[in-house]
Amino acid sequence: MVEEVVQSTPSSKSRVSRGLVGRSTAKRLSDINAEIDERLPLTIGEFARVLGGGVVPGSVVLIGGDPGIGKSTLLLQVALEMARQSPVLYTSGEESERQIKMRALRLLRDDASDNLPIPEDLYLVTETDLEAILAQVSEVKPRLLVIDSIQTTTQPGLESSAGSVSQVRECASRLRELAKSSGIAVFLIGHVTKEGAIAGPRVLEHIVDTVLYLEGDRFHSYRLLRSVKNRFGATSEVGVFEMGERGMTEVANPSEAFLAGRMVNAPGSAIAVTMEGTRPLLVEIQGLTSPTSFGNPRRTPNGIDFNRLLLVTAVLNRRLGLRLGEQDIFVNVVGGLLVGEPAADLAVAAAITSSARGAPVRADSVLIGEIGLSGELRMVGQMSARLREAVNLGFKNAIIPRRFRRGEPWPKGIEVIEARSLRQALDQALLPDTGENYDTGH
Ligand SMILES: Nc1ncnc2c1ncn2[C@@H]1O[C@H](COP(=O)(O)OP(=O)(O)OP(=O)(O)O)[C@@H](O)[C@H]1O
Ligand SMILES: [Mg+2]
């Protein structure tokens, strides 16, 4: 519950002067002027991809994410780049001018050549007062306006404090009106609450055109930029970045990055193919079982859902007779990725079984499939796309659910093994226990 002070209603005069209202007459749709592709191009390809192909003039984009995940970094990079073509205004209510300048210098540092120059057309204002920001906008006349962050921006005249529901909503609507009437693209940075939603009213997500989330594990360098709402492109697109000294760099081949450092033929490791939007990603799933020392056995998932782990464990226990009752189970998705899909069930089951039996999973196999309660293997969507990605990364075979309807043939270059049940799949996936300790190198 948030207390909200009722303001005297703004006079109709001020609403008219803000644009949108009061000058509308019905027009023929065919008469309305709209160039088809007027997006501003971006060389940060992963970012453009998530936006649906570039920045749409007059659009409002909200970028949310946990503290310290890299929101300011990413948008400063975008601002630096856009400023090479047209004026950009970056406003910050959170950091000093010096801090931002230092970050910009760090982002532009280049070992190979001299440092890249700071573009002339990037303007900076450290301000929280929306009226002052709007005054600067009419001064600078930017193509792109970045607000860092919407929670620190305040509309004078409203009594509630910065970041409150009414402030956030009012500021966001003012900025939307600015964007729609002037054609300036506006990027808003939004903080995320503990529960993971963008702080402030849910209505904020309705006001803007596009909502992006920057996600990732703070202890890993990978960041996923995910679109959850987009009026100008497909949702559930993701961009993959790596956060480093020089800011966010695009990861051209994410699957390869997530598989780097894998120990081939070690028990307890399996490769799953998960879909992030329309993009297949290969990830390594690790399982470890270890005797419970006291009390209840523990189930510790990292990167997969806790209940999913319980389900897979229960099926292994009841349908395959794997004794896990006195074993602690740890499951880890390498690289800090969150895998929400049931399609990773089979790889999770294989990783656990592999560790429990000390038998490695075939190193050149990918495992895809959802596990049902009777121990059956269920088909998952977009199988061809998943298999193609596995082929691209040089995997030799794939263990997948049996399909009952013949569709298009599976992609070439990979041996596809169809299994009806989890038991069949694991028989195919696990190598016999060689009795050797894979780790004898030490
Ligand atoms: N010199 C550096 N080298 C590598 N990474 C750095 C360096 N300086 C900062 N970082 C990274 O940048 C992160 C902060 O990024 P940024 O300020 O863009 O996050 P943010 O999402 O805007 O955070 P906030 O919510 O606090 O505004 C730090 O957590 C750190 O990981
Ligand atoms: Mg920030």
pLDDT tens for 175-221 read: 999 999 999 999 999 987 766 666 665 678 889 999 998 988 777 78
What atom in ligand 1 is closest to the CA of residue 103? 8
Asked if 332 and 396 touch (Cβ cutoff 8 Å), the reply is: no
pLDDT-based confidence at 16, cuts 50/70/90?
Answer: very low
Amino acid making up residue 174:
R
pLDDT score for 110: 73
- Choice from 73, 128, 212 to test ligand 1 binding pocket (greatest atom count within 8 A of CB): 73
Tell me, in angstroms, the distance from the centre of ligand 2 to residue 37's CA: 31
| pLDDT of 22 above 60 | no
The answer to whether the beta carbons of residues 82 and 88 sit under 8 Å apart is yes
Question: Which protein residue has the closest C-alpha to ligand 1 atom 9?
Answer: 245
Ligand 1 contacts CB of residue 223 (under 6 A) = no
In this structure, the residue with its CA closest to atom 1 of ligand 1 is 245
Residue to mutate (ligand 1; options 63, 71, 77, 191; most atoms within 8 A of CB) = 71
* pLDDT in the model for residue 297: 93
Task: Give the contacts of 361 (CB within 8 A, at least 6 positions apart).
Answer: 267, 269, 270, 271, 350, 351, 354, 367, 429, 430, 431
Nearest CA, atom 2, ligand 1: 245
- Tell me what the mean pLDDT of segment 124-129 comes to: 93
State in Å: Cα 74 to ligand 2 middle.
9
| Confidence band for 439, pLDDT divided at 50, 70 and 90 | very low
pLDDT of residue 160: 79
- What span, in angstroms and rounded, lies between the C-alpha atoms of 364 and 368? 13
Cβ neighbours for 389, distance < 8 A, ≥ 6 positions apart: 255, 273, 280, 281, 282
Is the CB of 247 inside a 6 Å radius of any atom of ligand 1?
no
pLDDT of residue 311: 96
